[in-house]
Amino acid sequence: MQGSFPFDLILFGMVAAFLVLRLRSVLGKRQGFERPPAEARPTAPVAMGREAPRAAPAAAPIVSGIAAQAISRIGAIDTSFEPAAFLGGAEGAFRMIVTAFAAGDRQTLRGLLSDDTYAGFEQAITARENAGETQRTEIRAINTVTIDAAELRGAQADITVRFVTDQVNMTTAKSGEVVSGSDAITELTDLWTFQRDVSDKDPTWRLVATRSL
């Protein structure tokens, strides 16, 4: 993971418990991920129940050709798996993780990340806190969410999702001086890999790797 995920701390004191309750709603349905409502809610994506997922633009198929075979095999093991619904939940998880990282919200991150990934995030949060720095994040738009790659080893599935987003990212020192980033909107492309044992009753997909392009 590189770059910074700046954020707005105001709501996190009030919604920390709410985010934990929503975690399983966003990531814990048997059909995989489920899509949040269309409006952006970066601090607390709302569960959708059985809403139909948003259709992907024709120019951007939701599954790349190279991933299609593995996705088909995943669906053969977990017959409730549906790529569009998975991507809807992945988008909700992206919003939660980006915002929670910037906020230093370890409790939310703990339930969304693998152990190794959480350790890396926690180390970065601690370094930022020790330096007295504050981050601000604004996800202005999520332009593309597609399955870039997939792999199935036994029953362990890895799905890599490509996110193309417009964000404002800025880190400031205790003095108010800008340490990195700016208040300009920047298009970012990130590849996030989610993992799950698709034969397990636990339906939660966890983030195991991140990469920025």
CA distance 133 to 135: 7
Separation between Cα atoms, residue 181 and residue 179, nearest integer Å: 7
Neighbour-count burial for 44-57, b at 16+ CB within 10 Å, e otherwise: bbebbeeeebeebe
Nearest-angstrom CA–CA distance, 117 and 108: 13
pLDDT of residue 193: 98
| Structural domains in the chain plus CATH codes | 12-212 (3.10.450.240)
Q: What is the pTM of this model?
A: 0.72
The tens-digit pLDDT sequence of the chain (213 residues) is 444 444 333 233 333 333 333 333 333 333 334 333 333 333 333 222 233 344 444 345 788 888 999 999 999 999 999 999 999 999 999 999 999 999 999 999 999 999 999 999 999 999 999 999 999 999 999 999 999 999 999 999 999 999 999 999 999 999 989 989 888 999 999 999 999 999 998 889 999 999 999
Closest CA to 52 of 28, 25, 88: 88
Phi, psi of 13 (to 5 degrees): -65, -35
